């Protein structure tokens, strides 16, 4: 009974955060702000759903933990793809919006010509 409540709670939490990530994607009004919603709200959302799946498999069958693999993979790759998309956005903002420059006459890595 308690495990069922835990599974249901994890499912609802996961679905809620996935939905919030996409609502952020559609609602926010500039391209860098939009990056905030999906890169992590979705990660936590899917993480909670995967955790629900692990608990569910222990509740009904022998149990399996291989969903942890997908979760670990998503948590490792989410910052990297977020970083790449941020760089694409920086290039499309170039000339339209002033970014704060780094100290000591350097430029940001993606703008340098090296």
Partner 1 sequence: MRARLFPHPLLTVLLAIVWCLLVNEVKLGTVVFGILLGLLIPIVTAAYWPDRPPVGRPIKLLSYLVLVIWDILVANVVVAMIVLFKSNKNMRPQWVVIPLDLRTPEAITMLAGTITLTPGTVSADLSDDGRALLVHALDAEDPDAVRDDIKQRYERRLKEIFE
Partner 2 sequence: MILMALNFAFVAVALSQLLAMLRLVKGPSTGDRILALDTMVINAIALIILLGMRLGTQVYFESALIIAMLGFVSTVAIARFVLRGDIIE
Contacts to partner 1 by CB under 8 A: 16-17, 20, 23-24, 27-30, 32-33, 35-37, 39-41, 43-44, 64-66, 68-69, 75-76, 78-80, 82-83, 86-87, 89-90, 99-104, 106-110, 112, 114
Least Å from the CB of residue 99 to partner 2:
15
Return the ∠ at Cα 89 (arms to 84 and 92), rounded to 5°.
Answer: 130
d(CA 97, CA 75): 31
Could you tell me if 14 and 48 are in contact, meaning their C-beta atoms sit under 8 angstroms apart?
Answer: yes
Q: Which is nearer to partner 2, 79 or 104 (CB)?
A: 79
Structure tokens at 62: 């022998």
36 binds, among partner 1, partner 2, none (CB under 5 to 8 A by kind): partner 1
Q: Which is nearer to partner 2, 92 or 102 (CB)?
A: 92
Q: Which is nearer to partner 1, 1 or 96 (CB)?
A: 96
Least Å from the CB of residue 5 to partner 2:
7
3: Cβ–Cβ under 8 A, 6 or more apart, which residues?
55, 58, 59
Distances (CA, A) of 7 to 43, 48, 70, 91: 18, 10, 18, 43
């Amino acid at each position: 009974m308690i495990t069922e409540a835990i599974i249901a709670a994890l499912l609802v939490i996961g679905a809620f955060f996935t939905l919030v990530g996409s609502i952020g994607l559609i609602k926010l009004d500039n391209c860098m702000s939009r990056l905030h919603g999906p890169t992590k709200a979705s990660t936590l959302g899917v993480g909670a759903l995967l955790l629900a799946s692990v608990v569910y498999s222990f509740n009904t069958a022998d149990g399996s933990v291989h969903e942890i693999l997908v979760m670990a993979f998503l948590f490792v790759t989410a910052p990297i793809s977020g970083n790449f998309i941020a760089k694409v956005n920086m290039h499309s903002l170039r000339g339209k919006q002033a970014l704060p420059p780094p100290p000591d006459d350097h430029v940001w890595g993606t703008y340098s010509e090296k």
